[in-house]
């Protein structure tokens, strides 16, 4: 099996080299349209509205691959060679755009304008009340409607290690005020980092809180539960939430609770503990108050089976660790079956419902101000 895999990989390398010189060829089911500035561009299928979508495959010298699509500015693959040299795709997802159009779990999604929840799906800004869509109990979740991850993004820039997608979000989009152009740049570095950089300058005061909703399984997508994989979160506290996952405003120390991830521990170690937050969230689905400010390491994950470790870096104050509690038998890449807790998400963010809590930072961005934030997932073996 290892041999065959290596053969496939070296064939891939040859085709990759060819693709830089030529134009159209196909490799198994992947139709390569072109190689632009060293990046492989392939068809990702046609949407139900007849729109052609593309997959951009970035590759580094260490055998890592990150593939992203203009459909939803979605992170589709992160391939990492494991301790035995076998390449593992460590994010859940689908084979083509049809899967992403039908999927409701936000696999690899770029989420906006405001990721996570806004209580009662409304907010006040400059004396005016804005009504959003109630798509999660009475609250708004991940934009509420017409989600960014179901839209076609313009491909603005393609270079040998990055792709920039652009979305024009208009005044009133999802109920939010102000036109805003949102740019998301995915970069794969030679340091084995997948960097996600968001930049937006709204024309009017508005709210912005973008995140990436990738589901990580460092033993490879489709390998089953992540409960035995270890996680660390550099946070002394988390935001307590009610039964609808809206923060109560309390900042609760993690010390002595199952929410304490300051030392690496298996995700499953205390997930079934008799603890209010875990009952209400059906497992981990909470915002941690990340220690420190500025760009810093905020979390890590490790699989003993593959030897793969991931570190998470961000400049944002919060992060949702979500343990895939709501996945119910989802068919993904190559027919893989994903079930409850087969992955974990590390959604960096302003705290949920921050617009209603004076002591939570963000997410108001004033007209002409630059919203600029970066989250990095870095891999080691």
Give the residue with the Cβ less far from ligand GLA, 123 or 147.
Answer: 147
Assess 285 for contact with ligand GLA (CB under 6 A).
Answer: yes
Nearest to 34 by CA among 46, 51, 18: 18
Of the candidates 142, 162, 213, 286, the residue annotated as catalytic is: 213
Partners of residue 49 on adjacent β-strands:
none
Tokens 């930049």 label which residue? 199
Q: Which of 326, 334, 366, 372 touches ligand GLA by CB under 6 A?
A: 326
Give the residue with the Cβ less far from ligand GLA, 45 or 93.
Answer: 93
Q: Which stretch binds ligand GLA (CB under 6 A): 89-97, 151-159, 319-327, 369-377?
A: 319-327
The answer to whether the bond into 113 is cis (omega within 30° of 0) is yes
* Interaction pattern, residues 25-64, with ligand GLA; x per rule: CB under 6 A: ----------------------------------------
Q: Which of 44, 71, 100, 106 touches ligand GLA by CB under 6 A?
A: 106
* Cβ pair 130, 211 in contact under 8 A: no
Q: Which of 55, 109, 114, 141 touches ligand GLA by CB under 6 A?
A: 141
Please give the structure tokens belonging to residue 304: 């003993």
Q: Which of 164, 320, 373, 375 touches ligand GLA by CB under 6 A?
A: 320
Q: Which stretch binds ligand GLA (CB under 6 A): 16-24, 45-53, 320-328, 371-379?
A: 320-328
Assess 123 for contact with ligand GLA (CB under 6 A).
Answer: no
Of the candidates 193, 230, 311, 347, the residue annotated as catalytic is: 347
Tokens 């968001």 label which residue? 198
Assess 322 for contact with ligand GLA (CB under 6 A).
Answer: yes
For residue 135, give Cα distances in angstroms to 107, 128, 338.
18, 22, 24
Q: Does residue 170 carry a catalytic annotation?
A: no
Assess 105 for contact with ligand GLA (CB under 6 A).
Answer: yes
Q: What is the rounded distance in angstroms from the CA atom of residue 90 to the CA atom of residue 260?
A: 25
Considering only residues 262 through 281, tell me which ones interact with ligand GLA, judged by CB under 6 A. Answer: none
Give the residue with the Cβ less far from ligand GLA, 108 or 202.
Answer: 108
For the residues of 272-322, what is the DSSP string, one character each?
Answer: TSS-HHHHHHTSSEEEEEESSSSSEEEEEEE-TTT--EEEEEESSSEEEEE
In angstroms, give the least distance from the CB of 301 to ligand GLA: 16
Q: Does residue 34 carry a catalytic annotation?
A: no
Q: Which stretch binds ligand GLA (CB under 6 A): 34-42, 95-103, 271-279, 318-326?
A: 318-326
Cβ burial, residue 84 (10 Å; 0-12/13-18/19+): exposed
Nearest to 291 by CA among 265, 342, 255, 334: 255
CA dihedral (204, 113, 374, 41) positive or negative: negative
Please identify every residue annotated as catalytic: 213, 347
Residues of this chain that interact with ligand GLA (CB under 6 A) are: 105-106, 116, 141, 245, 285, 320, 322, 326, 345, 347
């Amino acid at each position: 099996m290892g041999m065959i895999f290596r053969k496939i990989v070296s064939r891939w390398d040859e085709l990759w080299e060819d693709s830089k010189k030529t134009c159209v060829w196909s490799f198994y089911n992947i139709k390569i349209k072109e190689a632009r500035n060293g990046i492989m561009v392939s068809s990702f299928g046609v949407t139900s509205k007849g729109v052609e979508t593309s997959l951009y495959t970035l590759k580094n010298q260490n055998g890592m691959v990150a593939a992203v699509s203009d459909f939803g500015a979605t992170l589709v693959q992160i391939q990492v060679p494991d301790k035995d040299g076998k390449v593992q795709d460590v994010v859940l997802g689908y084979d083509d755009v049809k899967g992403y159009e039908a999927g409701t779990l936000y696999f690899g999604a770029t989420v906006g304008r405001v990721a996570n929840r806004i209580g009662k799906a409304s907010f006040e800004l400059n004396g005016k009340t804005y009504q959003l869509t109630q798509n999660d109990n009475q609250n708004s979740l991940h934009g509420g409607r017409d989600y960014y991850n179901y839209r076609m993004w313009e491909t603005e820039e393609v270079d040998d290690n990055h792709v920039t997608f652009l979305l024009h979000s208009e005044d009133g989009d999802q109920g939010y005020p102000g036109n805003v152009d949102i740019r998301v740049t995915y970069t794969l570095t030679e340091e084995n980092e997948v960097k996600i950089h968001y930049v937006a300058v709204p024309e009017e005061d508005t709210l912005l809180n973008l995140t990436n909703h990738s589901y990580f399984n460092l033993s490879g997508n489709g390998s089953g539960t992540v409960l035995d994989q270890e996680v660390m979160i550099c946070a002394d506290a988390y935001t307590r939430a009610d039964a609808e996952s809206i923060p109560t405003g309390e900042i609760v120390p993690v010390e002595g609770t199952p929410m304490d991830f300051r030392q690496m521990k298996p995700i499953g170690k205390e997930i079934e503990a008799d603890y209010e937050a875990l009952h209400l969230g059906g497992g981990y689905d909470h915002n941690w108050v990340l220690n420190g400010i500025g760009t810093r390491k905020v979390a890590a994950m490790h699989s003993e089976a593959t030897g793969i470790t991931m570190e998470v870096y961000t400049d944002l104050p919060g992060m949702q660790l979500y343990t895939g509690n709501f996945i119910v038998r989802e068919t993904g890449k190559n027919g893989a079956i994903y079930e409850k807790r087969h992955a974990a998400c590390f959604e960096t963010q302003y705290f949920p419902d921050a617009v209603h809590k004076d002591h939570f930072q963000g997410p108001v961005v004033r007209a002409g101000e630059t919203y600029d934030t970066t989250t990095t997932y870095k891999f080691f073996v």
